């Protein structure tokens, strides 16, 4: 997937501006920066779910605007995004799975269980979503999104509320997803250490600094490109 010169503006002005991204098939994009830097907005824009002020986003040959926008949204599954996509905490695991199977044709309980297995998640059907440990909640979000078989997966706040060990496990789960050939778009307060080989980084500074927003193209594990 590629983005060229994309910007998103809100009621208070620019959220981010002039961002270029190139993520190969099976690659990992990590959008990182402090709270308030626009990480979630960038993720939603790249997944075709936020209106662009300038620029273009493409997934394969499909452009995330105009007649092809719906196709891009089909290709990019959003596992979670703050304020936009979140599991209902009062549901039990089995109820959440049943809801997803009802809402998305082709998703089955078996598909969710099979998606959970390589992530290291063992589902307990009676557990309330709000009682899941943060890592299990993230892995369940991933499994539910993967069950539909999307080529691109978007997931927000990968490192939120995690200890060092759980943070490592979360990034290992995303590495397992990219190992299947899927492209992963993610956000985090900090990029993973060590950085997965070939990962693409996009750094967003806090908007209150008045600094230009990071422009990141294809990056190597040892180098990050910003404006």
Predicted confidence (pLDDT) per residue in 46-76, tens digit:
998 888 899 999 998 888 777 778 888 889 9
Predicted confidence (pLDDT) per residue in 113-141, tens digit:
999 999 999 888 999 999 999 999 999 99
Q: Of 155, 34, 35, 41, which Cα lies nearest the Cα of 19?
A: 41
Q: pLDDT band for position 206 (50/70/90)?
A: low
User: Domains of the chain: which residue ranges?
Assistant: 2-209
**Reported pTM:** 0.87
Q: pLDDT band for position 221 (50/70/90)?
A: very low
Q: Of 162, 114, 117, which Cα lies nearest the Cα of 138?
A: 162
Q: Is the pLDDT of residue 220 over 80?
A: no
In CATH, the architecture of 2-209 is: 3-Layer(aba) Sandwich (3.40)
């Amino acid at each position: 997937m590629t983005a060229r010169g994309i910007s998103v503006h809100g009621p208070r002005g620019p959220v981010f501006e002039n961002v270029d991204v190139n993520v190969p098939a099976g690659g990992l994009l990590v959008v990182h920066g402090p709270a308030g830097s626009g990480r979630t907005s960038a993720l939603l824009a790249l997944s075709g779910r936020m209106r662009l002020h300038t620029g273009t986003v493409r997934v394969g040959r499909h452009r995330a605007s105009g007649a092809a926008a719906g196709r891009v949204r089909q290709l990019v599954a959003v596992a979670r995004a703050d304020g936009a996509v979140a599991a209902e905490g009062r549901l039990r695991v089995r109820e959440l799975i049943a809801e997803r199977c009802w809402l998305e044709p082709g998703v089955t309980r078996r598909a969710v269980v099979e998606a959970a297995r390589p992530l290291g998640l063992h589902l307990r059907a009676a557990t309330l979503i709000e009682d899941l440990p943060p890592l299990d909640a993230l892995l369940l979000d991933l499994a539910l999104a993967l069950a539909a078989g999307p080529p691109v997966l978007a997931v927000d706040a990968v490192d939120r509320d995690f200890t060092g060990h759980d943070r490592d496990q979360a990034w290992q789960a995303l590495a397992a997803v990219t190992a299947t050939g899927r492209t992963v778009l993610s956000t985090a307060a900090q990029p993973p250490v060590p950085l997965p080989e070939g990962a693409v980084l996009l750094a967003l500074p806090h908007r209150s600094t008045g600094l230009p927003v990071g422009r990141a193209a294809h990056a190597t594990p040892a180098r990050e490109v910003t404006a």
